C-alpha cells in the first residue's frame, strides 16, 4: 500500500517537473526576439499574405498561453511541429537519427556501471595499496579529459596503428553498427566511469569501516560474503543516484561525441538546429532529453522504494 | 638548522606536493594568459598562408596551424576567454547560490520551499541542455553561454550552503549571538558565513574545473567563443582535420586543457583532504 502511494506521488511530481521544464523552454524560445515567421518563410518571400497564412497555421495570432497549450497538446499527440529548415515533421527527423544515439547510450550504459563499480570496489578493498593509487590517479585523469578530446585522440591513435578501421561511411548490418559505435561510446563513458568509480570507492570505504562489517568479520563470515552480501548492498543506492545523474550528462555528451566522430545522431541534429535557429527541432529535442532524464530518475527512485523500504516512509 | 627547516616545510600541509605542484602548474598557465601580449612571439590572429602547418622551430616555438597562425601565441591567448568565462560562471553561481543557500538554510519556510523546488526543476535539465536552448534562443556568444552555465551551476552551491547553514545554525555560538540581541543578518553573515566558507571554496574550485570543461565543450561545438578568436577549444575544432599530418595543432591545446583540469581537480582533492585533516 505504502509502495503504491509512493509510486503515485513520485509519478505526479515527475509530471509536474516535466511540464515546468517544457514551459521554461517554450518561454525561452518566445523570449528570443527572433521572428519565427521570417525563419519559416526564409529571406525574400515575406509577402503580407504569406505572413498571415503562417501566423494562422502556426497559431502565432493567439496569446502566448494558448500557444503553449496548443504546443504541449500536440506533443502529447506525438506531433512536435515541423522543422523550419528541413520542412519535415520534427518527429520524423528525430526518429531517423534516434538509432545512433540510442545505440551510443545503451553501449555506454553497459560499459559504465560495470567498469566503474568493479574498479571502485577493487580500489576500496585494496585501499592505500599501489593498485588503489593507480586506479585513483587514472580516474582523476579520466575525469579531467573532455570527451571530445578523448574522441579526437582515439581517432588519431586508432587510425595510426590500425588503418583498417574506418570512421566514415554508413553501416549496413548490426556488426558494422556496433563497430562504428564502440569507440564513440568509450569516449562518452570515460568521465562518467571516473565519477561513478570515485563515489563507489568512497561509499564502499564508508561501509567497510562501519560497525556491522566489524560484527560480520567477528562472526567469521567470509570476506567475499561481507563485501558482496553486506557492504555492497548498502553502498548501492547512492551509486544508483549518481548513475542516474550521469545519464543526464551522457545525453548532452552524445552531442559532443557525435560531432567528433561525425555520427548522424540526434546530438548532431541538435547542434545543426541551434545554429540554424530551427526552433521546433530544438524544442522537440530538448523535450525528448528532459523526458528521458525525468523518466530514468523516476525509475531509479521507485526502484529505491522497492530495495529500501525506509525511503518510502521518509519521502511520502 | 637546514634539516629542521625542511622538516618544518614538509609538515606544512599546504606545501604537500598534491597541493603545491598543481598550484604551480595553474600559476604558470594563468600568468601566461595574463601576460600573453608580452610573451607571445607573433600576433595570434595573423594569417600566413605561405607557412601553414609548420613543424616547431626557433621562429615558431610550436609550429603553425592550418592557416599559418603561430600556435604558441594562440595557446597563450587561447586560455583568456575560457578562463574569464569560467570565472564569470563560477562568480555568478557562487554569489547567487551562496546568498540563496544562506537565506534558505537560516529562515527555512516558504522561501526555502520555493527556491528548492525551482532548483529541482533546474536540475531536471540534463547537463548543458539549458545552455543549448539558451544559445539557440539568444545567439552564439561567450556571454550567453556564461550566463546559462551560471544558472546551471547555481543549485549545487545553493544546496551545499543551505545544508551547511542548517547544521551551523543549531550550534551554541549562534544561540549565544542571538541572546546578545544581534540581528539575523549579522548572525548570518558575520558569524555563520565564516564557518561555512572553507567547504564552499572547495566546491567553488570543483565548479571552476567543470565550468572550464563545459565552456570548452560549447566552444568546441561552435556555440561559445567564436572563431577566429584564439581559444583552446576553437583551436581543437579547427585543428581536428589536420591532426594526422600535424599533431601539434591538436596536441598543444589538448594537453593544455588536460593539464589545467587535472591540476584543478588534484588541487580541490588536496584541499578537501587538508580540510578534513584540520577538523580531526
Q: What are the residues of chain B with a beta carbon less than 8 Å away from any beta carbon of chain A?
A: 120-121, 124-129, 132-138, 140, 209, 213, 216-217, 220-223, 236, 240, 243-244, 247, 250, 254, 257-258, 261-262, 265-266, 269
pLDDT of residue B3: 66
Percent of chain A as helix, strand, coil, to the nearest 5? 80, 0, 20
pLDDT of residue A166: 65
Tens-place pLDDT, residues B204-216: 988 998 899 999 9
Tens-place pLDDT, residues A117-169: 999 999 998 888 899 999 988 998 888 888 899 998 888 888 888 776 666 66
Q: How confident is the model at residue A38 (pLDDT cuts 50, 70, 90)?
A: low
Chain A residues within an 8 Å CB radius of B125: 21, 248, 290, 293
Is the pLDDT at B44 greater than 90? The verdict is no
CB of B200 closer than 8 Å to CB of B160: yes
Chain B residues within an 8 Å CB radius of A247: 126
Phi and psi angles of residue A178, each rounded to the nearest 5 degrees, phi first: -65, -45
More confidently predicted of A108 and B4: A108
Question: Which three cell numbers, joined as nine digits, stand for B107?
Answer: 529562515
Over range B44-63, report the average pLDDT: 73
- Convert B134-151 to b/e letters by CB count within 10 Å (16 or more is b): bbbbbebebebbbbbbbb
A27 to chain B: closest CA residue: B137
Check A153 against B254: CB less than 8 A apart.
yes
Tens-place pLDDT, residues B109-148: 899 999 998 898 888 888 889 899 888 888 888 899 999 9
A133 vs chain B: nearest CA distance in angstroms? Answer: 13
Q: What is the average pLDDT value for chain B, to the nearest integer?
A: 85
B141 to chain A: closest CA residue: A275
pLDDT of residue B159: 92
The rounded distance, in Å, linking the Cα atoms of B125 and B133 is 11
Is the pLDDT at B226 greater than 50? The verdict is yes
More confidently predicted of B35 and A87: B35
Check A156 against B220: CB less than 8 A apart.
no
Q: HSE of A183 in the Cβ direction (CA atoms, 13 Å)?
A: 23
Q: Which of A259-273, A297-311, B132-146 has the lowest mean pLDDT?
A: A297-311
The rounded distance, in Å, linking the Cα atoms of B129 and B135 is 10
pLDDT of residue A77: 78
Is the pLDDT at B40 greater than 80? The verdict is no
CB-closest option in A20, A144, A152 to B261: A144
A36 vs chain B: nearest CA distance in angstroms? Answer: 11
B214 to chain A: closest CA residue: A146
Question: Which three cell numbers, joined as nine digits, stand for A311?
Answer: 525511503
Tens-place pLDDT, residues B141-173: 889 999 999 999 999 999 999 999 998 988 899
Question: Which three cell numbers, joined as nine digits, stand for A117?
Answer: 563499480
pLDDT of residue A33: 63
The rounded distance, in Å, linking the Cα atoms of B239 and A313 is 55
pLDDT of residue A316: 40
Check B126 against A260: CB less than 8 A apart.
no
Is the pLDDT at A304 greater than 80? The verdict is no
Q: How confident is the model at residue B73 (pLDDT cuts 50, 70, 90)?
A: confident
More confidently predicted of A68 and B254: B254
The rounded distance, in Å, linking the Cα atoms of B234 and B145 is 15
pLDDT of residue B267: 86
The rounded distance, in Å, linking the Cα atoms of A15 and B237 is 39
Tens-place pLDDT, residues B260-278: 999 988 888 888 777 777 6
A198 to chain B: closest CA residue: B269
pLDDT of residue B95: 95
The rounded distance, in Å, linking the Cα atoms of B127 and B134 is 13
CB-closest option in A31, A33, A149 to B236: A149
Counting every residue written for chain A, the total comes to: 316
A31 to chain B: closest CA residue: B137
- Of B137, B262, B159, nearest to B212 by C-alpha is B262
A85 vs chain B: nearest CA distance in angstroms? Answer: 14
pLDDT of residue B147: 94
pLDDT of residue A197: 93
Check A293 against B126: CB less than 8 A apart.
yes
Q: How confident is the model at residue A315 (pLDDT cuts 50, 70, 90)?
A: very low
B193 vs chain A: nearest CA distance in angstroms? Answer: 28
CB-closest option in A148, A260, A274 to B132: A274
pLDDT of residue A37: 67
Over range B217-228, report the average pLDDT: 88
Q: What is the average pLDDT value for chain A, to the nearest integer?
A: 83
Chain B residues within an 8 Å CB radius of A20: 121, 124
pLDDT of residue A39: 62
Is the pLDDT at B280 greater than 60? The verdict is no
Quote the percentage of chain A above a pLDDT of 70: 88
Q: HSE of B187 in the Cβ direction (CA atoms, 13 Å)?
A: 22
Q: How confident is the model at residue A311 (pLDDT cuts 50, 70, 90)?
A: low
Check A152 against B209: CB less than 8 A apart.
no
Question: Which three cell numbers, joined as nine digits, stand for A261?
Answer: 566522430
Counting every residue written for chain B, the total comes to: 280
Q: Which residues contact A246 (CB under 8 A, 6 or more apart)?
A: A112, A192, A195, A196
Check B258 against A21: CB less than 8 A apart.
no
Q: Which of B129, B223, B247 to mutate to test the interface with A (most CBs of A within 10 A)?
A: B129
What is the Rg, in whole angstroms, of the alpha carbon atoms belonging to chain B?
Answer: 23
Q: Which residues contact B95 (CB under 8 A, 6 or more apart)?
A: none
A296 to chain B: closest CA residue: B124
Q: Which of B125, B148, B223, B261 to mutate to test the interface with A (most CBs of A within 10 A)?
A: B125
pLDDT of residue B12: 66
The rounded distance, in Å, linking the Cα atoms of B76 and B83 is 12
More confidently predicted of A32 and B88: B88
Amino acid at each position: 500500500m505504502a509502495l503504491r502511494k509512493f509510486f503515485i506521488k513520485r509519478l505526479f511530481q515527475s509530471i509536474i517537473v516535466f511540464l515546468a521544464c517544457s514551459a521554461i523552454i517554450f518561454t525561452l524560445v518566445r523570449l528570443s526576439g527572433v521572428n519565427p515567421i521570417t525563419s519559416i518563410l526564409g529571406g525574400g518571400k515575406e509577402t503580407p499574405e504569406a505572413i498571415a497564412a503562417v501566423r494562422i497555421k502556426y497559431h502565432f495570432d493567439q496569446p502566448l498561453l494558448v500557444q503553449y497549450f496548443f504546443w504541449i497538446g500536440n506533443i502529447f499527440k506525438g506531433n512536435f511541429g515541423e522543422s523550419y529548415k528541413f520542412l519535415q515533421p520534427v518527429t520524423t527527423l528525430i526518429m531517423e537519427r534516434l538509432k545512433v544515439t540510442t545505440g551510443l547510450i545503451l553501449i555506454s550504459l553497459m560499459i559504465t556501471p560495470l567498469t566503474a563499480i568493479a574498479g571502485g570496489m577493487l580500489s576500496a578493498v585494496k585501499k592505500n595499496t599501489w593498485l588503489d593509487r593507480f586506479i585513483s590517479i587514472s580516474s582523476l585523469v579520466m575525469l579531467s579529459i573532455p570527451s571530445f578530446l578523448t574522441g579526437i585522440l582515439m581517432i588519431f591513435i586508432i587510425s595510426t596503428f590500425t588503418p583498417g578501421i574506418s570512421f566514415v561511411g554508413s553501416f549496413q548490418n548490426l556488426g558494422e553498427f556496433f563497430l562504428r559505435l564502440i569507440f564513440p561510446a568509450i569516449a562518452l563513458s570515460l568521465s562518467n566511469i571516473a565519477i561513478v568509480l570515485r563515489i563507489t570507492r568512497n561509499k564502499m570505504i564508508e561501509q567497510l569501516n562501519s560497525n556491522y562489517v566489524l560484527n560480520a568479520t567477528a562472526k567469521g563470515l567470509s570476506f567475499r560474503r561481507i563485501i558482496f552480501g553486506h557492504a555492497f548492498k548498502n553502498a548501492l543506492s547512492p551509486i544508483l543516484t549518481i548513475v542516474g545523474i550521469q545519464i543526464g550528462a551522457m545525453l548532452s555528451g552524445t552531442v559532443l561525441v557525435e560531432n567528433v566522430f561525425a555520427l548522424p545522431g540526434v546530438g548532431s541534429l541538435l547542434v545543426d538546429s541551434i545554429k540554424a535557429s530551427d526552433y521546433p527541432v530544438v524544442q522537440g529535442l530538448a523535450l525528448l532529453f528532459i523526458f528521458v532524464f525525468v523518466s530514468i530518475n523516476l525509475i531509479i527512485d521507485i526502484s529505491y522504494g522497492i530495495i529500501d523500504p525506509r525511503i518510502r516512509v521518509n519521502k511520502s | 638548522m637546514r634539516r629542521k627547516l625542511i622538516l618544518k616545510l614538509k609538515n606544512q600541509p599546504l606545501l604537500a606536493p598534491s597541493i603545491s605542484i598543481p598550484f604551480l602548474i595553474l600559476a604558470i598557465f594563468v600568468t601566461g594568459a595574463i601576460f600573453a601580449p608580452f610573451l607571445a612571439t607573433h600576433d595570434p590572429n595573423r594569417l600566413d598562408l605561405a607557412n601553414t602547418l609548420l613543424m616547431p622551430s626557433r621562429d615558431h616555438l610550436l609550429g603553425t596551424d592550418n592557416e599559418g597562425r603561430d600556435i604558441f601565441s594562440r595557446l597563450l591567448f587561447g586560455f583568456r576567454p575560457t578562463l574569464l568565462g569560467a570565472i564569470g560562471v563560477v562568480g555568478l553561481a557562487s554569489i547567487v547560490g551562496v546568498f540563496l543557500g544562506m537565506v534558505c538554510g537560516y529562515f527555512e519556510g516558504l522561501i526555502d520551499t520555493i527556491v528548492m523546488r525551482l532548483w529541482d526543476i533546474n536540475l531536471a535539465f540534463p547537463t548543458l541542455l539549458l545552455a543549448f536552448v539558451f544559445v539557440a534562443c539568444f545567439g552564439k556568444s561567450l556571454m550567453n553561454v556564461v550566463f546559462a552555465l551560471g544558472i546551471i551551476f547555481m543549485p549545487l552551491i545553493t544546496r551545499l550552503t543551505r545544508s551547511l547553514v542548517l547544521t551551523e545554525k543549531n550550534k551554541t555560538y549562534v544561540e549565544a549571538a542571538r541572546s546578545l540581541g544581534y540581528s539575523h543578518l549579522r548572525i548570518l553573515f558575520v558569524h555563520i558565513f565564516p564557518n561555512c566558507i572553507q567547504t564552499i571554496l572547495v566546491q567553488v574550485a570543483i565548479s571552476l574545473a567543470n565550468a572550464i570543461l563545459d565552456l570548452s565543450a560549447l566552444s568546441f561545438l561552435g556555440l561559445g567563443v567564436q572563431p577566429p578568436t584564439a581559444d583552446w577549444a576553437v583551436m581543437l575544432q579547427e585543428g581536428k582535420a589536420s591532426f594526422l599530418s600535424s599533431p601539434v595543432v591538436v596536441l598543444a591545446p589538448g594537453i593544455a586543457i588536460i593539464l589545467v583540469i587535472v591540476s584543478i581537480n588534484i588541487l580541490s582533492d588536496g584541499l578537501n583532504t587538508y580540510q578534513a585533516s584540520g577538523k580531526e
